[in-house]
Amino acid sequence: MTEAKLLWIAEEVKALQDSGLFINLRTIESAPGAWMVVDGQRVLNLCTNNYLGLADDPWLIQAAKEALDRYGAGPTAVRSIAGTLAIHKELEEKIAAFKNVEDALYVQSGFLANQAALPPLVGKEDVIFSDRLNHASIIDGARLSRAKIVVYEHCDPADLESKIKEYLPQHRRGLMVTDGVFSMDGDVAPLDKLYEVAERYGVLTMVDDAHGEGVLGRGGRGIVDHFGLHGKFDVEVGTFSKAFGVVGGVVAGKKVIVDYLRQKARPFLFSSAVTAADTAACMAAVEMLAASTELVERLWENTRYFKGQMQTLGFDVGHSVTPITPVMLGDVKLAQTFSRHLFAAGVFAMPLGFPTVPQGQARIRVMVSAALSRADLDFGLGKFAEIGRTLGVLS
């Protein structure tokens, strides 16, 4: 029996189940390679963020093992007390050089990188201009800052300008923040135009490049490189959990800001540092990308092939310009059924519904990876075609 004071929770969960929005966790029992074992079944992996196949790369694994032997399992302190390892500093230098920025701060995750960066830069007297579809971690970081949050229309520099004109005069300072690549649709922010507008009004500029690093720009140097805006954006947030294949977040950018964040960022001051093993694996990933563009090229080749074939089959793959491939299905129950059929046929691709995406825009999101061979892609395409016909999505 549920206690009376907790009944509302049971009702909330039931409502999620009834509306098809309840999240069922699948359990992974292997490394996230092209194929992996999920809930006891060997399936083609079309849904992790392992863009470059680095997550199970032998070089990363070896680097992690060596760091584990040298530094132990955990730093057992926050960075600002006794948790800053030599390897943390080395990684910060390497990622800053890779992204061509002055300095970088390594934190525990991309989610926390936004919490590290936003509250120190803006407060109660300030205003944040935020894209309508920004990631939850930007929204939470913005809320924590207690600045006024003004949402501008998705990827719309003209609306950004009109919002700046309307709200900046009543505030001490402003900050514009946007995702670089939007993770649900795979579209890219018009960073050059947003920068131009923000700069004209003296507004701070920040971009979250979680899905751009390792994907966009020369050799995967990210969205700022893609637009040739080096040295312009004040803050570039990133993550080591996607293309880099490990875990951890980074706040990169101008030295004056990064130095300031080392004094003020709460995830840095009050939560223990990332383990040496993870840090070493991150560093190996950055080194691999700095040394060769081969993986990034294969990622794009696979992306062009998969998307082209899906369109030929007749699927609506949205407006993505990146390896993120949303297979638009509309109804959340249809997306779940489609995903279940795929899984039974040996393809792992998860359905996404509200609140991750807007109501009525449920989809299966395929994440293309350099780890996939042409035969793997053809296997996945074959199953999408078969099930698309069975469920009446394709005619």
| Binding stretches for ligand PLP (CB under 6 A) | 109-111, 135, 137, 179, 183, 208, 210-211, 239, 241, 249
List CB contacts of 254: < 8 A, sequence separation 6 or more: 101, 102, 103, 234, 235
Nearest residue to ligand PLP by CB is 110
Provide the H-helix boundaries in 102-227.
110-121, 136-145, 157-167, 191-200, 223-227
Q: Is 255 a catalytic residue?
A: no
Shortest Cβ 85–ligand PLP spacing (Å)? 19
Shorter beta-carbon distance to ligand PLP: residue 116 or 328 = 116
Q: Clarify whether 171 is annotated catalytic.
A: no
Nearest approach, Cβ of residue 138 and ligand PLP (Å):
7
Strand 362-367 to 351-352 pairing: antiparallel
Crossing angle of the two packed helices 157-167 and 191-200, in degrees rounded to 10 = 20
- Environment class of 373 (CB within 10 Å of its CB; exposed 0-12, middle 13-18, buried 19+): exposed
Distance CA 148, CA 142 (A): 8
From the candidates 137, 183, 241, 320, which is the catalytic residue?
183
Q: Is 320 a catalytic residue?
A: no
Minimum distance of ligand PLP from residue 109's CB (angstroms): 3
Smallest distance from ligand PLP to CB 63, Å: 19
Q: Is 313 within 8 Å of 231 (Cβ atoms)?
A: no
| SS3 of the chain: helix, strand, coil, percent, to 5 | 45, 15, 35
Q: Which is nearer to ligand PLP, 48 or 302 (CB)?
A: 48
Query: Residue 367 or residue 381: which is nearer to ligand PLP going by CB?
Result: 367
Shortest Å distance, C-beta 311 to ligand PLP = 25
Catalytic residue among 242, 271, 307, 320: 242
Least Cβ distance, residue 297 to ligand PLP (angstroms): 23
Is the CB of residue 113 less than 8 Å from the CB of residue 298? Answer: no
Buried/exposed code over 94-132 (b: 16+ C-beta within 10 A; e: otherwise): bbbebbebebbbbbbbbbbbbbbbbbbbbeeebbbbbbe
The answer for 29, left when phi > 0, alpha when psi is -120 to 50, beta otherwise, is alpha
* Nearer CB in complex with ligand PLP: 57/179: 179
Q: Which candidate in 211, 226, 307, 383 is catalytic? A: 211
Which residues are known to be catalytic? 183, 211, 242
